[in-house]
Amino acid sequence: MPCLRSLRCVRKLWSPAQTSRLLKVAKLHRSVTKPHHEKVMADNKPWALISEVGEQGYLEEVADIIKRHFNIICLKDFLQNPQFHGPKVQALLVWNCCPEAEPSLLGSLPSLKVVANGGVGIDHLDVPYINRLGVKVTNTPGVVSNATADMAMALLLASARKVVEGHQIAINPKTTHIPQCLMGAEVTGSTLGIIGMGHIGYKVAQRSKGFDMKILYHNRSRRSVEDEQAVGATYSENMDDLLRESDFVMLVVNLTPETTGLISHRELSLMKPTATLVNVSRGRVVDQDALVTALQSGTIRAAALDVTHPEPLPRDHALLSLPNVLITPHVGTNTYTTTRKMVQRMVENAVAAVKGLPVPDEVKL
């Protein structure tokens, strides 16, 4: 700064006290101009509409990732004055399906350039409609695969070995002995049928190989011979054959019109009476009424579900009272590491769209 350069010239002429006062003036000048500079930088950032920061939205630490690149406004604040805020918003960041990208909201965002979704599934977004508005849609493939595959195996193991039942017995104040009837199903050496061998399905196969499981898979298209050999997987062109042979059936498909109700009465009747159905895809992939009947009648042994429809289920839903069902509240991606990666990818996609650059994870139907 000029005032600091001047110090070097006058330091020999001035007393130490005078020099000290000049230094204080220079520091004060920097402290005054820095907030102004930061405010200018903040004003230059584009605006993004989000659900909220807190329990029902983004964790504070991941919200900071968004704030580095966007000014953010939460939906509650936006709705108080959409006419004022709407023209500023260029990115809609959707987390856990919120904010809902419905026509009434999209219509109030004339400058919108991108709807960036956190997660792979985009069944809650009307992509063709959004695209017709001239708005791009993005998701976050890849970064969710490991955490979701971990959760899939956790559900399989917990159901097979009755982990939750064992925990309840262990903490029950009335427990005086450990019952020997708490018998589970063998995982090692069993047959796993994976329906949907995309990123996540393949990660499940990699993990199940460690349990010496025989791996069958059904997919829209067969994977390469190299992929199959790497995990020891066998392709089942007919899904019915996979259902008949598997001890565990794992659903890892995207929700589409073709996969809605994919598993219903007929499919469940093909499964072994000792088999377990594991679902980490979407609740509507399974006909839940048919599943209740199959579990009650002993058509299959058990079900382990990270997804249902709706979420959460009504508190009086039959699935919640069945002893052979394990349900978790759609937490397949809920780790700090994966959540940060998801938000970072959302932001990268949104920034690219706002700047008119190629978008890494644009969804094109």
Residue 282 contacts residue 123 (beta carbons within 8 Å) = yes
- The question of whether 258 is a catalytic residue gets the answer no
Rounded to whole angstroms, the Cα distance separating 160 from 305 reads 13
Give strand pairing partners of 326.
Answer: 304
Q: Which of 165, 311, 348, 362 is catalytic?
A: 311
Q: Say which DSSP state 53 is in.
A: B
Which residues of the chain form beta strands (DSSP E)?
Answer: 47-50, 71-74, 89-94, 114-117, 136-138, 191-195, 214-218, 233-235, 248-251, 276-279, 302-305, 325-327
Rounded to whole angstroms, the Cα distance separating 361 from 365 reads 13
- The question of whether 345 is a catalytic residue gets the answer no
Amino acid symbol at 98: C
CB atoms within 10 A of CB 192: 27
Radius of gyration over alpha carbons of the chain, in Å? 27
Which residues of 87-228 form beta strands (DSSP E)?
Answer: 89-94, 114-117, 136-138, 191-195, 214-218
If residue 41 lies in a helix (H) or strand (E), which one and from where to where? helix 16-44
Rounded to whole angstroms, the Cα distance separating 40 from 249 reads 56
- The question of whether 330 is a catalytic residue gets the answer yes
Residue 148 contacts residue 332 (beta carbons within 8 Å) = yes
Q: Which of 218, 301, 330, 345 is catalytic?
A: 330
Phi, psi of 202 (to 5 degrees): -70, -35
Rounded to whole angstroms, the Cα distance separating 275 from 294 reads 11
Owner of token pair 């001239």: 134
* CB neighbour list of residue 228: distance below 8 Å, 6 or more residues apart: 234, 235
Q: Which of 207, 282, 301, 345 is catalytic?
A: 282
- Active-site annotation, residues: 282, 311, 330
